[in-house]
Chains A and B, each alone.
Chain A
Amino acid sequence: MSGNELILTAERLYKSYRMGATNVSVLRGVDLAVEKGEFLAIVGASGSGKSTLLHILGALDSPAKGIVRVAGRDLRRFTGGELNAFRNKMVGFVFQFYHLLDELNVLENVFLPTMVSQGVLRWFANRGRIKKRARDLLSELGLEERARHRPYQLSGGERQRVAIGRALMNEPGLLLVDEPTGNLDSATGNAILGIFEKLNKAGQTIVMVTHDERIARRAGRIIKLADGKIGKGITRT
């Protein structure tokens, strides 16, 4: 830890799932702090709870016990509207399976978060600026020629780049990335990781979970998740 401003902290997080008659503890008192501008990788074996942790950090799930603080505020104290705004503006998610909407084209998938946050009138008033921002993102991600295509017409790597574009659309403070290369071949995976490195260099805070330590090594800091607890972190330069 470098003593930079903390963008997000997690204190004593617990989470368990019911599997038939047994209770499976996934997180057993996880503590975590994410500094502004860092690229943090959380590594763990399959089923170690890393995706669960990421979902809790992004308010897609709630812990059984423990606190997540965003800019010092306890997520549990957020109203429904504030949680929606948090997911819409403060964090951007990139999922392993992309999770794009097939009914929308690439450009529309990218500016979907802006459509969610704006009503019809505001959308029409700002649509020129919004579309330009989405096109710029696609251009940066090398997908400007694919703007009118549907997700099912794209390769896995292209879909993941669209998902990154969508996650960045509202300029979130924190990018939460779940196994971003899990579905991609190594060359495409490398290219995707390159995008994250580039974003991080530009100041973007990123928390990435992966089971692959080689991929984790691309991050600035690596922490291990085992038996539901965080191990000692490794800071890379």
Chain B
Amino acid sequence: MYKVVLVFRYLLRKRISYLAFFSVSLCVFIVAVVMTVMRGLVTDFKDKNHRFVGDCVVGTESLVGFAYYEDFMKVLEGQDFVECTSPVIKSYALCRRGSGPSVGVEVFGIDAERHSRVTGFGETLHYHKGAPRQAFEPVFDSNIPGCIVGVDLWLPRDSQGRYSYQQSLSEEAVVISCVALTASGALAKGGLEIVNTKTFWCSDTSESGLARVDGSVVYLPFEWAQMLCGMGGPDKRTSSVYIKFRGGVKFERGCAGVASLWEEFVRANGGKKLSGLFSQVKVESWKGYRREFIAAMEKEQTMLIVLFALLGVTTVFIVFVVFYMIVSHKSKDIGILESIGASRAGIVRLFLGFAFLVGVLGSFIGVVAGGLFLLNINQIEGWLFEHFEFQLWDRTIYAIGDIPNKADYRVLLIIVISAIFACLLGALVPSWQAARLKPVESLQVGQL
């Protein structure tokens, strides 16, 4: 019974207990907030990349592309694990907006509707959101096709990261100049006409949330891109085929299935005229295809986990020190309790109970405070920006809307369990050390 009474008395009547309680709350608060925000950013970044690519990509980085892709798409679409496919032309071009300067861009040739079924493309459009079929339709002149421009190429962002969309698009032409290559990689046309130039009207903007994409990609109708890049004609080529799997199909299994189909396809078509281009083609999951971007973010996340592991060790040490101080200041109490018959195990359980209570209450307060802070983190950042012009991420640079604040309950549970474990560990060593002393030693020493 004395353990129950003393646990609560130590908690309520000792100022140092409040310090221990506060340090646990603070550590849990900091770890919960930073982990939630950083995890949210990484998850959001991965989701955006996933939505940009679909589930799997069969493609080449070569600007020549590969042929017979339509036959392979038919094979893919006959599979029960594939929902749909979308061919994508990928190349580089010069882009001139109106009478402005030419800038280097990436050109993506897509069938907007098909591409939207495989990726989240349709949702990135501003004027044709959810209706990608009309996205490339001519706007101002029926003879000139539309193009979709990455939003950062078209509109400036304000300090809050918002784009100044107009009610309707301004009547501005976009001139795209591509270098066309033959299947052998030579320039498509001899002499001076080596550049294919075509004028488009900007029919929409795309906001994928990926700064690199929104700041450098211009989407063209598939056939036009194919023509401009020299991939049209009788032996049509594409850069890649994006694939979406049916619901419930695991990426690894789906990608393995596509890889096996591709190997079979290459074997079956190995004798064809342009089969030499197959050697450049790779089958990759969306993560593999976007790894140069995701890997950097994942590395940051790994570094963050390492840093937080170090912070965790520091926290354990801080809590350990606080508990060591508490228990060592209570060594006389330990002697008194032993002199009236308390067992060593009972003494250890008393301080473990105290540590557990501090851990549970401290982490509960830390989690609640963290939750409240996360709930209002965007308002707090807004207020800081309004009054002090402080912004955690400069929205004119980073393609971040709101700061992610959706807590993962599993992560919170791990943080809480770690905090309680740290408290128990911090209390176990000194209380065990104190309980091992003879009662008279505990009574005589002022402190351990």
Q: B443 touching A85 by the CB < 8 A rule?
A: no
Cα(A118)–Cα(B1), bound, Å: 6
Q: Assess A84 versus B342: contact at CB under 8 Å? Given A60-B443, A108-B5, A118-B1.
A: yes
Cα(A24)–Cα(B187), bound, Å: 101
Q: A112 touching B340 by the CB < 8 A rule?
A: yes
Contacts of A210 in B (CB 8 A): none
A226 to chain B, nearest CB (A): 22
Q: B9 touching A93 by the CB < 8 A rule?
A: no
Complex interface bits, B320-354 against A, C-beta within 8 A gives 1, otherwise 0: 00000000000011011111111110100000000
Q: A93 touching B339 by the CB < 8 A rule?
A: yes
Cα(A122)–Cα(B335), bound, Å: 24
Contacts of A80 in B (CB 8 A): 343-344
In the complex, B388 has a CB within 8 A of chain A: no
A167 to chain B, nearest CB (A): 8
Q: Assess A101 versus B13: contact at CB under 8 Å? Given A60-B438, A80-B343, A108-B5.
A: no
In the complex, A103 has a CB within 8 A of chain B: yes
Q: Which single member of A60, A100, A120, A122 contacts B440 (CB below 8 Å)? A: A60
Contacts of A85 in B (CB 8 A): 341
Q: B2 touching A112 by the CB < 8 A rule?
A: yes
Q: Assess A116 versus B337: contact at CB under 8 Å? Given A61-B438, A84-B342, A99-B332.
A: yes
Residue of A with least CB distance to B343? A84
A145 to chain B, nearest CB (A): 22
In the complex, B6 has a CB within 8 A of chain A: yes
Q: A116 touching B13 by the CB < 8 A rule?
A: no
A119 to chain B, nearest CB (A): 6
In the complex, B293 has a CB within 8 A of chain A: no
Q: Which single member of B5, B333, B336, B439 contacts A115 (CB below 8 Å)? A: B5
Cα(A119)–Cα(B13), bound, Å: 23
Contacts of A112 in B (CB 8 A): 2, 340
A216 to chain B, nearest CB (A): 22
Q: A62 touching B438 by the CB < 8 A rule?
A: yes
Cα(A29)–Cα(B155), bound, Å: 98
Cα(A112)–Cα(B440), bound, Å: 19
Contacts of B251 in A (CB 8 A): none
Contacts of B14 in A (CB 8 A): 103
Q: B341 touching A116 by the CB < 8 A rule?
A: yes
Residue of A with least CB distance to B346? A116
**For A62, A89, A102, A103, which residue has the most chain B Cβ atoms within 10 angstroms?**
A103
Q: B340 touching A88 by the CB < 8 A rule?
A: yes
Cα(A116)–Cα(B344), bound, Å: 12
B435 to chain A, nearest CB (A): 11
Residue of B with least CB distance to A95? B443
In the complex, A217 has a CB within 8 A of chain B: no
Complex interface bits, A103-128 against B, C-beta within 8 A gives 1, otherwise 0: 11000100011011111101100000
Contacts of B338 in A (CB 8 A): 60, 87
Residue of A with least CB distance to B439? A60
Cα(A93)–Cα(B341), bound, Å: 11
Cα(A120)–Cα(B439), bound, Å: 24
Q: B340 touching A60 by the CB < 8 A rule?
A: no
Cα(A93)–Cα(B336), bound, Å: 10
Q: Which of A118-147 contact B (CB under 8 A)?
A: 118-120, 122-123
Q: B443 touching A88 by the CB < 8 A rule?
A: no
B446 to chain A, nearest CB (A): 11
Contacts of A108 in B (CB 8 A): 5
B18 to chain A, nearest CB (A): 14
In the complex, A50 has a CB within 8 A of chain B: no
In the complex, A81 has a CB within 8 A of chain B: yes
In the complex, B4 has a CB within 8 A of chain A: yes
Contacts of A93 in B (CB 8 A): 339-340
Contacts of A55 in B (CB 8 A): 439-440
Q: B438 touching A88 by the CB < 8 A rule?
A: no
In the complex, B10 has a CB within 8 A of chain A: yes
Q: Which of B429-445 contact A (CB under 8 A)?
A: 438-440, 443
**For A85, A88, A115, A123, which residue has the most chain B Cβ atoms within 10 angstroms?**
A115
**Top 9 A-B pairs, shortest CB-CB distance:** A88-B341, A103-B9, A123-B1, A115-B2, A87-B341, A60-B439, A60-B440, A115-B1, A61-B440
Question: Could you list which residues of chain B lie within 8 angstroms of chain A, going by C-beta atoms?
Answer: 1-2, 4-6, 9-10, 13-14, 332-333, 335-344, 346, 438-440, 443
Q: Can you sample 23 A-B contacts with CB below 8 Å? A: A55-B439, A58-B339, A61-B439, A61-B440, A80-B344, A81-B343, A84-B341, A84-B343, A85-B341, A93-B339, A99-B332, A101-B336, A103-B9, A108-B5, A113-B341, A115-B1, A115-B5, A116-B337, A116-B340, A116-B341, A116-B342, A117-B341, A122-B1
